[in-house]
Amino acid sequence: MIKLNSNSKHSIATRLGLLAVTLATVLLNSHYLGEEGLGKVALLQFGLLLVTGLAGFIAASAVVYVRRSHSPSEFKWFAYGWCLISAFAASSAGVGVGVIPEEWLYHSAILGLLQSIVVFHAQLLIAIGKIKQHNILQLTLTTFLLLLVIFEFMVQNNTTPEGFAKSLGAALILTTLISSFMLKETWNAKPTNFASRKDARKMLLKYGAQGQTGSILQLLTNRSNLSLLENTIGSSGAGIYSIVYYGIEAVWTIARAIAPMVNSEVAMADNRKERMVITGGYLKLVILFTLPLVIVACLLPESVYAWIFGINGIAVPLRLMAPGMVAGAISIILAHHLSGVGLHRWNALTSALGLLVLICSGLLVIPKMGVHGAAISASFAYSVQAISMITVWLQKA
């Protein structure tokens, strides 16, 4: 039986706190912005995720590995520069291919740049073992956002998607400053494990590319339905689906909290048998927590969701997503197992397969079934991806 250590418990507690604060923000958005406004906000956030996804090739998980052998002073300006390039490249590409509206071009670039810097700083905190500070930083950002949205909507009376973007920008600026303060004594610190003469920038490119390709493909799998809905039935459909997707994310809370521990423990295990036992134990734990959440989400009537969010049409898509919610939780754990043993390419391949299934099925069913079709295509994609990952895990990991 897997026993959770203090960092694991702190991560789960932080995730639950993030869930509560994010729920409060979502409720404010749903009641003040309505379906169409929610859709626009969801597409803005998609733009930010595209930026941070591209920035992550340098300034994300690879930072933790490179920090073992290099001082942050050796690569910080390279990482900052890449974040800047990514901000305008990814937002321009997103507008160019039609996955984010042109009106959000500069918002996506500037806010995405700030968010990328926060992610970079957070990875540096992880690299020096400051897991709790990393968790606090995440909670700080979401709390600032909630407070600023309350101020913008209720005090300033600016109940528009642009008002939300303004609040998000202020929250990101404050969090960037706080994260910089957390790291102020560490920029010239020595390597955490050993010194290396290898070029830190080349190492970031190598290991970042391996890990981030799968992450970007997974991001597209999770969020492409928003663009498909926007381009077929309009912003209102994307708005309803954004609430449905929030429900899915809520169900995945425990899986996302536990996943980093899977990566860490599997990477330190001495043999395959030990790795399989570790991941198998965490899988049982995640399924044990996830299934009751899925059942509750499916049993709640539409009237309850309408009362909570002020929007109709949420219950049925969530029920259609039930298989996908369970499959997604399994995939989250297995993806971190594969990362822990260096099989990043299989994460990328299975994410690519999920994205292909999502787009092909979505193009068939979304024009006819709207949000219900989006839920069906997503559930199908997550299920195919999970089956593929289980196969890889059993045969190659």
User: Which pLDDT belongs to residue 158?
Assistant: 96
Predicted confidence at residue 83, as pLDDT, reads 96
Rounded CA gap, 2 and 265, in Å? 11
**Residue pLDDT, tens place only, 324-346:** 999 999 999 998 888 777 787 88
What length is written for the chain?
Answer: 397
Say how far apart CA 94 and CA 90 lie, in whole Å: 6
Q: What is the pTM of this model?
A: 0.80
* DSSP secondary structure letter of residue 104: G
Q: What is the DSSP string of 185-224?
A: TTTTPPPSS----S-HHHHHHHHHHHHHHHHHHHHHHHHH
DSSP 281: H
What span, in angstroms and rounded, lies between the C-alpha atoms of 148 and 146? 6
Q: Is 159 helix (H, G, I), strand (E, B) or coil?
A: coil
Six token digits for residue 177: 């400053």
Using a 10 angstrom Cβ sphere, with 0-12 exposed, 13-18 middle and 19 or more buried, the burial of residue 177 is exposed
Low-confidence residues of the chain: pLDDT under 50 = none
Cα 295 versus chain centre, distance: 23
Predicted pLDDT at 319: 96
Structure tokens, 69: 């052998």
Residue with tokens 């859709």: 39
Q: Distance between CA atoms of 394 and 372, rounded to whole angstroms? A: 33
Helix (H) or strand (E) holding 9: helix 6-59
Q: Report the C-alpha gap between 107 and 74 in whole angstroms.
A: 30
Q: What is the reported pLDDT for 159?
A: 96
Alpha-carbon distance of 347 to 335, in angstroms, equals: 6
C-alpha dihedral, 321 to 322 to 324 to 330, nearest 10°? 150
Query: pLDDT per residue over 75-109, tens digit each?
Result: 999 999 999 999 999 999 999 988 888 999 999 99
